[in-house]
Structure 1
């Protein structure tokens, strides 16, 4: 499974770019007891006046606010999935965690209303230190190696040679998000694109080889990438000899022949009355990651599940071990989604406006240097077969300047109709991927809403 994210930051104007010194963290943070630092309560940004600069003199320079209540880190994931699912009835695949990690880094560079909106939509605490530690824990968990699965997680911030981001931003990205700044010449698009694509292809084991092209790099100053690749084998693998053709109800009146896999073993399962659906947990080897499959009992029941996604987590906590006869279609598809409008609908608006504020990225930020988000694109793919799963996703966020029952009885789960699934890191309960299979016979799809 692969998740990849990148931000392309476009800005007019130039400044000197400095290589981040290896001792930056110590010089910036000092001892661990000095790691605190945040901003005062956020308020509506004031109108921009001629000759006004947007440097925030208090950026990361004041004491942290008191820790707030524990944030609901699932809220963003479920809301994003629900909004994308409502756009059509086709297959879709998202990487909520991938997008969230990228937006978290962007939030670190933001101030004022820009940061306030991102923080609210992402469900973050007001305490910046708490958010940083949360993501540091998530990343540390994902980076633990195991012979039972493959998971490569990497982040990088490419910085135009003429740019001059704040060293504090670089230090925080390194310390808490395991992300380093790398100088690059975006004015030489062929070389820059090759360098970026080679790095991504290496981490994703060749699954994604062309994340960016030369046109994507026009006027770019900073590009933030987050890449997640996961390949897992089922704890209870499907017997290839049991794989056979069957009918999948794309709609109540339309059936398509697809290949179904079958396995009968002990799984955690529940019959959800709330959703009138069966919920099945299918662990991968090592039990750290699992796929959850939600199959409605009726041919037209999936919209009910997707509409109530915010209430799915409590139902997942009701699973009990049962003997389950599982019949699941093999599927392999890719999906592209433009998420600009979705994020706007969710409340991220200021980041797309000319008055967006990202002083952590562009020091000074005069009127000619204002950065704003121009697009958010995610490209994803997944393959599920008898042995396990491979999924991959690429998210691009571009910023431009303003111009531009009993066990013996057993139960059956027959996924022969549209169903919902998610892949979760069981340690941190983070959603690596969420998706819907409406037609297992299709191999690609696109969601475009701008």
Structure 2
């Protein structure tokens, strides 16, 4: 597959993955099993949803700048959730920078937290015909002091249990990876490498798994072998699915779009096709939350519409998101100047890792994604005095404390 489907995949995950999630089984100590359809809809802030949507498109466009010649697939919700968990420990300018990147500037903490607390059980009960599971967990190096309030808010708001683990053991990474594998129905089986570096004190993990059948499936006998004009100028042989009937369709000056619902219709895949001759990367540059809303507003049901969509599988990552997130304004979080004092002392985000996979066929779609925020101690710096710039000097009598000479060297003449 090629870059023709960049906006399709981004919009799919923005709509579908934000459209439903539930907790996955986790280790002992989790209260995720308490999730049910009981929630307060009024506490799901539209401002928080709007912030996550803006972040989705901003993040996608940033990655497209870096990987514009590749297929791209992310779960914005997974990234947002893992970072929102980490955000609970940020303070000062680090918190401000993360808020800017995530779109939380102007949002009170209580708004962000109550929204996530109610959003998860709401999405959990969205559609009993769609399987969409979200799981969160916090893994702490055994013996490390992480502030209890930070762990409590992640447990109560994000349903994330805290698992204390001896990171020095060879099987530590395997245990974390096993949790991710179970949370993604074995679609993502490895994210953390062994051995875990000695400075790593914590992992904050989010995992999402989605599987939904089309509300109106494609008939396999109508799938044919045909040509696909790839973004690199080559022609691929693909298996093209086809169906005709009632479909929500929209178009604009430079695009066509369809909405393909799953299950009971509350989650859907939106496919957006730029007009012929318009480069996909140029179209991606025009995407933002407002444009996304305009695309959705253009949709209307058509009685007889032919839809042809290739079957495809796509895998993206493991992608290190540090540079992308720094470009969005939260670079301080990755440096020794990071302030995560509400989490612990002298720590910073060393890596934000993301991986996603998708398979689309006649029956429906299966998608999985995981995001890991790795937190490390700030290493002690080697002391050094390197006089490679102007400096002062003093010559003194140390018995009496008398300053004998004092000077400033601005340039060196030898």
| Structures share fold, TM-score greater than 0.5 | yes
| Unpaired segments ≥5 residues, structure 2 | 1-12, 18-27, 32-44, 381-414
Q: Is residue 134 of structure 1 aligned with residue 115 of structure 2?
A: yes
After alignment, is 212-221 or 109-118 more displaced?
212-221
Which of 199, 204, 225 in structure 2 is aligned with 1:245? 225
Show the 5 A alignment for 1:158-307.
158-188=139-169, 190-251=170-231, 253-273=233-253, 276-307=254-285
TM-score, normalising length from structure 1?
0.70
Q: Is the 8 A contact 1:68 1:127 kept in 2?
A: no
Larger radius of gyration: 2
CA offsets, 1:388-444, max 9 Å, x none?
Answer: 11112222332223338xxxxxxxxxxxxxxxxxxxxxxxxxxxxxxxxxxxxxxxx
SS in 1 for 2:182: helix
After alignment, is 81-90 or 92-101 more displaced?
81-90
Q: Is the 8 A contact 2:74 2:369 kept in 1?
A: yes
TM-score, normalising length from structure 2?
0.76
Q: Is residue 332 of structure 1 aligned with residue 313 of structure 2?
A: yes
CA distance in 2 between partners of 1:252 and 1:130 (Å): 45
Q: Is the 8 A contact 1:251 1:299 kept in 2?
A: no
Question: Which structure exhibits the higher relative contact order, with contacts defined as CA atoms closer than 8 Å and separated by 6 or more residues?
Answer: 1
Which of 315, 324, 339 in structure 2 is aligned with 1:342? 324
Q: In the TM superposition, what is the alpha-carbon distance from 1:253 to its structure 2 partner?
A: 4.4
Bigger share in helix: 2
Q: In the TM superposition, what is the alpha-carbon distance from 1:166 to its structure 2 partner?
A: 1.7
CA distance in 1 between partners of 2:219 and 2:138 (Å): 44
Q: In the TM superposition, what is the alpha-carbon distance from 1:231 to its structure 2 partner?
A: 0.5
Please name the residue that 1:49 is paired with.
Answer: none
Which of 58, 67, 73 in structure 2 is aligned with 1:79? 58
CA offsets, 1:14-65, max 9 Å, x none?
Answer: xxxxx9999xxxxxxxxxxxxxxxxxxxxxxxxxxxxxxxxxxxxxxxxxxx
CA RMSD of aligned residues (A): 2.5
| Unpaired segments ≥5 residues, structure 1 | 4-18, 23-66, 405-450
Please name the residue that 2:40 is paired with.
Answer: none
CA distance in 2 between partners of 1:287 and 1:21 (Å): 31
CA distance in 1 between partners of 2:373 and 2:279 (Å): 34
Q: In the TM superposition, what is the alpha-carbon distance from 1:216 to its structure 2 partner?
A: 3.8
CA distance in 1 between partners of 2:305 and 2:180 (Å): 39
Please name the residue that 1:427 is paired with.
Answer: none
Q: Is the 8 A contact 1:236 1:263 kept in 2?
A: no
Q: Is residue 151 of structure 1 aligned with residue 132 of structure 2?
A: yes
SS in 1 for 2:187: coil
Q: How many equivalent pairs are there?
A: 336
